[in-house]
A and B are shown apart, each in its own frame.
Chain A
Amino acid sequence: MRVSGKAVKYGDNINTDIIIPSKYLTSLDPNELAKHAMEGIDPDFPRKAKEGVIIVAGRNFGCGSSREQAPIALKYAGVKCIVAESFARIFYRNSINIGLPVLEAPGVSGMVEDGDKLTIILDDGEILNETSGKVIKANKLPEFILEIIRDGGLIEHLIKSLRGGRVEV
């Protein structure tokens, strides 16, 4: 799997209240949520993300609540992948479960500028910075997580597994 897009950079500890404030959580419509993605610190984000972007962030991205609406808002706003120094664990799992690729890449903040064009080869855990020509090594995702992402998320993965008789219910 490969994804490409312009980098949008953020710092450390970007929390879920910033990604999608609680006042919007009564909506179950992903496109409605997307309109308010990153509203806490970057109200212009939905416009920027439309063309398909890759978020590059610092440590502890997605900390805070378990709201899956956070990765959903980002995904529907146009985020193709999130690369961060580290992730908060619930956000990390939620992203995978909705089929939004996430990659941990220690040191990535220093190797990408806002607006750089990136291509990510998920299977190899590699990030090509086409603007600078640098290759950044990320922590490769385990095969079973890649499978969930390839299937488009946990539900699709589970449906497929249930059909194949691989999961006991």
Chain B
Amino acid sequence: MTISEKILAHASGKEYVRPGDIVDAKVDMAMINEITGPLAIQMFKRIGLEKVWDDQRIVLVLDHQVPADSVKSAELHKIMRMFAKEQSIPYLYDVGDGGICHQVMVERGHVRPGELIVGADSHTCTYGALGAFATGIGSTEMAAVFATGKIWLKVPSTIRINVTGSFMELVTPKDLILNVIGKVGADGAIYKAVEFTGPTISAMNISGRLTLCNMAVEMGAKTGIIEPDEKTVQYVRERTDKQFKIFRSDPDAKYERTLEFDVSNLEPMIACPHSVDNVKLVKEVEGVKIDQAFLGSCTNGRLEDLEIAARILRGRRVKKGVRMLVTPASSEVYLEALRGGILEVFVRAGAYVCNPTCGACFGGHMGLLAAGEVCVSSSNRNFIGRMGSPEAEIYLASPATVAASAVEGKITDPRRFLEA
């Protein structure tokens, strides 16, 4: 069995499962944010049960529109706080206390290898980077999980992405995942698990692995997943003392197919409007003028992402007429970036450092685009209207490409900034 099959077998009390089986699985952790949560809470109340199945296994995060940008948002936040209180759920990450839900989940030790985790947000698949099986669900389904602690799932077949080689300087895991999505297509992995394997993945830090698994949903996948190793165990151990079980794919595990990628010659990649699989080399679209550069999101708002952008921005200025927004993924990331002097680099460069939030990526608030504007973004979706006006254009790229483009005022290959 693959790691995904093993986790689903374990969660449903079975010795063995195979792709296509429908299992009734026990959920280890369930997460909601203030966009999907209030509806889940409303639905849970309609069921008529007083108490959730387990108040220690639910996490509530306020992240999409924080601090509240309107009375309506404030009301949603209030519903979340009241529910946590009513249900005695200790894990409520309020304004200033957490950050983007997916970063909070991994950073605060709510994700452990071998667990089955559901979140009412499509990027829940991010947690596969720690060897959990994690997938996004809707609000009504979450209400049923709150009531029963269970969910029916179809065991997915697995596509293996085997990666070899070392990245060139200023080429990052984001460039790899964009390359993969360009090859697999926006619907190439619907209903399936995507497992990343190979020496490049073993050598990659947790931050990069999170970026890979985060974008698995952009090819339609149910989850992205990576076998836990020493780095995973160390990362998790630093954050929780809860026990966990490590699952690994058997050497004879059956994959639907295996795709080989060698990153040795991989160049910076970019997803062009209006689809995540419309992927080109950055150098093919160099020169496209930009109005906004966005660095942040659950895809690329971690310390490593801010660091690589700061490397390019140090001692330079964001081009006049361009605005650059930086939103660290969480308060923890914010604090580390503050301590390391990275935030100062951004401010001195003329970038605008915002509070941790989904904000501009989600098109909710803080940094929306006007008609005809162009944004280069380190986030995960470039759909029509995603970041504001349906007549705006979004290019998705790595933090390095975002920073290089901000300096030049046009889409730019970050390798132009390599020190000679």
Interface set of A (CB-CB < 8 Å, partner B): 12-13, 15, 17-18, 21-23, 25-28, 39-41, 59-60, 63-69, 86-90, 93-94, 97-98, 142, 144, 153-155, 158-159, 162, 167-169
B137/A66 in contact, CB under 8 A: yes
Min C-beta distance of A21 to chain B, whole Å: 5
Most-contacted residue by chain A among B72, B124, B220 (CB, 10 A): B220
Report 21 cross-chain contacts, Cβ distance below 8 Å, ordered by A residue: A13-B275, A26-B65, A26-B73, A40-B383, A40-B390, A63-B220, A64-B381, A66-B136, A66-B137, A68-B36, A68-B140, A69-B39, A86-B190, A89-B220, A94-B139, A97-B141, A144-B152, A153-B140, A155-B43, A167-B148, A168-B148
**Which residues from A are CB-within-8-Å of B143?**
154-155
Q: Which of A23, A144, A153, A155 makes the CB contact (< 8 A) with B364?
A: A23
Q: Which of B22, B42, B148, B186 makes the CB contact (< 8 A) with A63?
A: B186
User: What are the 7 A-B residue pairs with the smallest beta carbon separation, nearest first?
Assistant: A60-B187, A94-B138, A26-B72, A68-B138, A97-B140, A17-B383, A66-B136
> Which A-chain residue is minimally distant from B384 (CB atoms)?
A40
**Which residues from B are CB-within-8-Å of A89?**
190-191, 220, 222
> Which A-chain residue is minimally distant from B79 (CB atoms)?
A28
Q: Which of B147, B190, B385 makes the CB contact (< 8 A) with A18?
A: B385
**Which residues from B are CB-within-8-Å of A21?**
363, 385, 390
B140/A60 in contact, CB under 8 A: no
A22 in contact with B363 given A65-B122, A158-B47 (CB within 8 Å)? yes
Min C-beta distance of A146 to chain B, whole Å: 14
B42/A25 in contact, CB under 8 A: no
Interface residues as binary, B162-193 with A (CB distance below 8 Å gives 1, 0 otherwise) = 00000000000000000000000011001100
> Which A-chain residue is minimally distant from B388 (CB atoms)?
A23
Min C-beta distance of A96 to chain B, whole Å: 9
**Which residues from B are CB-within-8-Å of A86?**
187, 190
Q: Which of B42, B47, B140, B364 makes the CB contact (< 8 A) with A22?
A: B364
How distant is the Cα of A21 from the Cα of B389 in the complex, in angstroms? 10
**Which residues from B are CB-within-8-Å of A40?**
383-385, 390
**Which residues from B are CB-within-8-Å of A59?**
187
A26 in contact with B70 given A63-B187, A90-B122 (CB within 8 Å)? yes
Min C-beta distance of B381 to chain A, whole Å: 6
Min C-beta distance of A104 to chain B, whole Å: 10
